[in-house]
């Protein structure tokens, strides 16, 4: 039996939440390994909509252990608010089904302040962050001045961490024209939230090793998408963490050998939120159709998503960098009723044909898509649970995507509902 890593293979918003929830029935442990509460996973179960940001999607299933790994940056107040919210929907979260790595860095109000002040100061050059402090929290992690979950258990250590943190942030705030941080108020907030967070704290690396030895199936849940990876994404319009499958190992404390089947989540068209290059973006009636029928608004920010045709060049690239063995193709139903479809098969740049997206930002902004046109279908794919229920043209579209990206479809999602899924290959059995 393989462990499974789920990653977004585009710019995020591919429908990872539903797929992870669906797969979690076959898993024992579900691990979030990077990102923060800038992630947004929407799940629809028996008509009820659940929106998660920090909690692993498997938390909605009884008898599963959800884990927040050390690769995540954790806003403790946001987490407790999320737990309270889904409690109102009948989902109980406690130490019996949620565990947080002791070495997980915290997102503090000072990080959110800095994130928002920087974006404001950047003007037209802003990156388009969610303003939730993710980037500044990761900066403090690599700058060795983070406050981590374990630090909340010892006031002396907490004081030392605060001194180091504030020495850095107060200098930045002064340069941005902001007041110094109220140290006493921040410490009081941390001591107040500490018991709520510490009840979940554990040596996750050790627990996961024991679970693996016992034969438990582990599902690693990524956030955002591969094109937002801080190294391999459309830099600088990226997130502040590594979003590729390799991060599952370092973001959880398990070795690379623990990562088994890598499942890339791929939308049947392309979207992105915020600024940055987007070769296949549409500003015509088809773009409006995709945005409207696909309900393309960010789960976390509520921002409109930019929409465009499927870009096989980008997905082929991300399947390579994440080592994807199979994809889960989502939102095929959004294409229902379109007379013709286009797939990007390459780019033109200054007269040259490219089979990949170049690294240089200026070149990324100038590439022009090369399209292949295919007939659409008039039948419905909504709710299909077998290949036989799909229109012939829809099957041809899926098969062509497989050919162009060099990777097979393992799962096909035909609606937001949990059970509207066609299983081709079970990642846990591959």
What is d(CA 171, CA 315) in angstroms, rounded to the nearest whole number? 42
Q: Helix (H, G, I), strand (E, B), or coil: what is residue 360?
A: coil
Residue list, annotated binding site for substrate: 299-305
Based on the residue annotation, tell me whether 141 is a catalytic residue of this protein: yes
Residue-by-residue DSSP string for 106-143: BP-HHHHHHHHHHHHHHGGG-----SSSHHHHHHHHHT
Q: Which of 13, 75, 151, 420 is catalytic?
A: 13
177: left (phi over 0), alpha (psi -120 to 50) or beta: left
Annotated catalytic residue within 37, 141, 169, 342: 141
User: Can you say which residues are annotated as belonging to the binding site for GTP?
Assistant: 12-18, 40-42, 305, 331-333, 413-415
Task: Please name every residue paired with 106 in a beta bridge, in sequence order, or none if there are none.
Answer: 74
Residues 6+ apart with CB under 8 A from 278: 270, 272, 306, 308
Q: Which of 21, 37, 41, 113 is catalytic?
A: 41
Q: Which residues are annotated as a binding site for Mg(2+)?
A: 13, 40
Annotated binding residues for IMP: 13-16, 38-41, 130, 144, 224, 239, 303
130 CB neighbour count, 10 Å cutoff: 24
Phi first, then psi, for residue 396 (nearest 5°) are: -60, -40
Binding site, by residue number, is 12-18, 38-42, 130, 144, 224, 239, 299-305, 331-333, 413-415
Would you name the residues annotated as active-site residues?
A: 13, 41, 141
């Amino acid at each position: 039996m393989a462990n499974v890593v789920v990653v977004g293979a585009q710019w995020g918003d591919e429908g990872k939440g539903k797929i992870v929830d669906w797969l979690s029935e076959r898993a024992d442990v579900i691990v979030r390994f990077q990102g923060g509460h800038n992630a947004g996973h929407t799940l629809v179960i028996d008509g009820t909509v659940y929106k998660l940001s920090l909690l692993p999607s498997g938390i909605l299933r009884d008898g599963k252990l959800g884990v927040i790994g050390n690769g995540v940056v954790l806003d403790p107040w946001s987490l407790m608010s999320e737990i309270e919210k889904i409690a109102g929907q009948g989902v109980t979260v406690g130490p019996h089904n949620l565990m947080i790595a002791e070495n997980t860095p915290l997102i503090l109000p000072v990080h959110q302040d800095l994130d928002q002040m920087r974006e404001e100061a950047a003007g037209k050059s802003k990156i388009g962050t969610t303003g939730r402090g993710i980037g500044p929290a990761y900066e403090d992690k690599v700058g060795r001045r983070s406050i981590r979950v374990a630090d909340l258990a010892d006031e002396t250590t907490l004081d030392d961490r605060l001194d180091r943190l504030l020495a850095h942030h107060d200098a930045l705030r002064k340069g941005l024209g902001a007041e110094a941080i109220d140290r006493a108020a921040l410490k009081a907030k941390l001591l107040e939230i500490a018991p709520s967070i510490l009840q979940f704290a554990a040596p996750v690396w050790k627990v996961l090793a024991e679970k693996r030895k016992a034969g438990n199936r582990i599902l690693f849940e990524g956030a955002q998408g591969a094109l937002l990876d801080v190294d391999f994404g459309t830099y600088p319009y990226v997130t502040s963490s590594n979003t590729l499958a390799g991060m599952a190992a370092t973001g959880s404390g398990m070795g690379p050998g623990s990562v088994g089947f890598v499942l890339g989540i791929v939308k049947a068209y392309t979207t992105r939120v915020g600024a940055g290059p987007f070769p296949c973006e549409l500003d015509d009636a088809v773009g409006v159709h995709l945005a409207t029928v696909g309900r393309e608004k960010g789960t976390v920010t509520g921002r409109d998503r930019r929409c465009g045709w499927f870009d096989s060049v980008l997905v082929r690239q991300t399947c390579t960098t994440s080592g994807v063995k199979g994809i889960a193709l989502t939102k095929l139903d959004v294409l229902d009723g379109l007379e013709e479809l286009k797939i990007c098969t390459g780019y033109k740049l200054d007269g040259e044909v490219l089979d990949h997206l170049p690294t240089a930002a200026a070149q990324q902004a100038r590439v022009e898509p090369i399209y292949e046109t295919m007939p659409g279908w008039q039948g419905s794919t909504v709710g299909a649970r077998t290949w036989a229920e799909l229109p012939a043209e829809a099957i041809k579209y899926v098969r062509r995507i497989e050919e162009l990206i060099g990777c097979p479809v393992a799962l096909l999602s035909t609606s937001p509902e949990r059970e509207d899924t066609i299983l081709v290959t079970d990642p846990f059995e591959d």
